[in-house]
Each structure stands twice: as C-alpha cells, then as structure tokens.
Amino acid sequence: MDSLGRGGAERILIDSINRMDSSKNYLIYFHSPNTLENDVQNANVICLNKMGKGGNLFAILLLRKLINKYKADVLHAHSYWTNIVSRVAAPENVKVINHYHFADYDTMKDKKSVRRMIVLDRLTERKLLTRVGVSKYVERILNSTFPKGKNVCVPNFVLGEEAINRVVNYYSKEQLNMVAVGTIKSEKNYSFYIEAFNGLRDFPVSIDIYGGGDSLAQYRQRVSALKLDNIRFKGEVANVPQVLDKYNLFTSASTSETFGIALMEGVRAGLPLLVSDIPAFKEVAPKSAATFFNPYDVGDFIDKVKSILEAKLIPSLSDYNSCLKTYSVDTYLAKIADLYR
C-alpha cells in the first residue's frame, strides 16, 4: 500500500508501481492530480478527497479503515505529511516505509517550522519504521537527525532499460547550446542564469530552460528587459528525452537537490554536465564529464563556460552506462522488495 505526496515523489512512485509484479497494490493519495488514475497501471487507486474533508486526522481514520479492510502488510509513504499520517494510522504489526525526497533537515534546519517538523518526526517513531533516503546524501541527513532509527538508502532512478550507445562530445570553437530542466522555484536558481548569460553576451553560448511555474512570465520579462537573446525560458515540455537531443550540454544551478532526476535525464541523453557543486550532484553525476561550479558565484560559472569553449569534453560511455545501471528502476525495485520482506 502506498500513500502519495506530490512532485518528483509522485513521478518516482507511479513509475515504480507500474513496474511492480503484483495485483495487490493500493495507491491511496490525499490530493488529486486530474490524470493520476490514468497514469497508474498496476494498483487500485483510492483518493481520500473523494471521501470527504477533515485534514490529517480524517486521513488517519480513513487510512486505518482501509489498512484493516485490505489487510495491508506494508504502508509506504513518500512525503512529509503522508509519512506522519502513515505511522499514526498503521497498526503495530504493519511495516511502515517512509521516503524522504527533501533535504530540509539539512538546508533549513535552523528554521522554526523545520525544527517543528523534526520534533513531530521523532515523536511519531515506531518499531517497524524504516526511513529511506533517496540518495546517500539524504541518508546521511537521516543518520544525523535520527541516529537511533533504521535509515537506509534507496536511490531514485531514471526510466530507460537499454544502455546508451553514444555520448555527446562538445568540441571547442563551436556554438555551445546548453539546456536546463526543472519547475521554476527558488532552489532551481534561475536568476543566476540571467546574470550569467548577461555576462556571456559576446560568447557563442546559449541556454534554453524548460519548466513551468508561477514566475515564468516574470523571468521572461527580465530577459526581455535586458535584451538577452542567449537565454530562453521555454515553459513546460511533455517529452524531456526528445527535447534534450537538440543540445550539447546539460546544466543545473540548483542550490539544493536530494537526487537530481533532471540531471539523470541529461545522463541518459549522453550530454556532458555543467552542474552546481552540491552534495547530491557530486554523488550521482558521472565524473568523466561533469564540471562543477559554485551556484552562488556567477563568475565561477562564467569561467567554467569559457574553459569548456577552449577545450573539448569527452564523456566516457562506459562511465555513463555504469551510472544508468546504478540508478535504474530494476535496482530500485530490488531494494524496495528487500524492505518489503
């Protein structure tokens, strides 16, 4: 039985459930994306919103009834509040697996709201609870925050079964067409790119940024006001893999990530990487073609771009395929199955 959060957690959950070899999965979610029932192929979908409204207390009561009705053995949740609700709702003999797709306990641990989150997280601990970090970085956060708990790492994945047969070699003196992917929000650091590409006006470099969000129009207005033609905010896109084929370098200036699914899409496309030097990226990225920069230092980014323009990047195909195997859905499901036993 799974309880659904939103965003990247939702994507990982749906993709993994659709690959599970079982007809006894129940996907119970609190909030209703319009297409969720159509996206889930291998689970019985139940939406608590359809049964009434009453906040987390109401969700706990409804969830407990469903656990008893379907005789659940495992309750598996993927967001902060569904994690808490799952623990309170589950009987003592039911395993509870809680995924952590966020790094707030590290990056925002001094905020009062995050300290309250940690306190509630500790107060609802139980015997049959396993906390799952979606990267070794998140596992380290869990070990530091909950040293007496059972904390494990089950890395996220990027879909695609076959190995790739080529990587993109970027050669000097050519046009460097960069791409970034991700919903527009503060930690994606897109203002950084506007400043950086303002400083790269006279170089053969451009970037297309794919992703929607409430601030999309504002970013486009800032680009227009600066009269920049080397940076374009393209909005949402339906098929990321096909889009990436048009570019020769993947970039991300994120200041906080727990894994980096978009980065792994760049790996699957065989693109060299120019990414921020945050823990999750340094853990996941293939080292043969990853150039790291300080996401708080525009000058460092510009210097790294100029260096790439002067020298060729030659990613290792075997390095990329090893990375894709490590972060594959099969590897993920094997580790989840071990936790379910």
- Distance from first CA to last CA of the chain, Å, rounded? 14
Cα 204 to Cα 194: distance, rounded to the nearest angstrom: 16
Query: What integer pLDDT is reported at residue 293 of this predicted model?
Result: 98
182 CA to centre of own chain: 9
Sheet strand arrangement including 290-293: 231-235, 205-210, 176-181, 249-252, 273-276, 290-293
Q: What digits encode the pLDDT tens for the residues 282-313? A: 999 998 879 999 999 999 999 999 999 988 78
Are the CB atoms for 137 and 258 separated by under 8 Å? yes
Q: What digits encode the pLDDT tens for the residues 31-82? A: 665 456 677 777 888 887 755 555 788 889 889 999 999 999 999 998 899 9
Residue 315 clears pLDDT 50, i.e. is over it: yes
Q: Considering the chain, what is the average pLDDT of its residues?
A: 88
Instruction: Supply 239's token pair.
Output: 């098929």
Cα 154 to Cα 76: distance, rounded to the nearest angstrom: 13
**What percent of the chain has pLDDT above 70?**
91
| Radius of gyration of the chain measured on its C-alpha atoms | 21
Cα 191 to Cα 168: distance, rounded to the nearest angstrom: 27
SS3 helix, strand, coil % of the chain, rounded to 5? 45, 20, 40
Cα 307 to Cα 301: distance, rounded to the nearest angstrom: 10
Please name the residue that has the structure tokens 């570019």.
Answer: 247
Are the CB atoms for 30 and 19 separated by under 8 Å? no
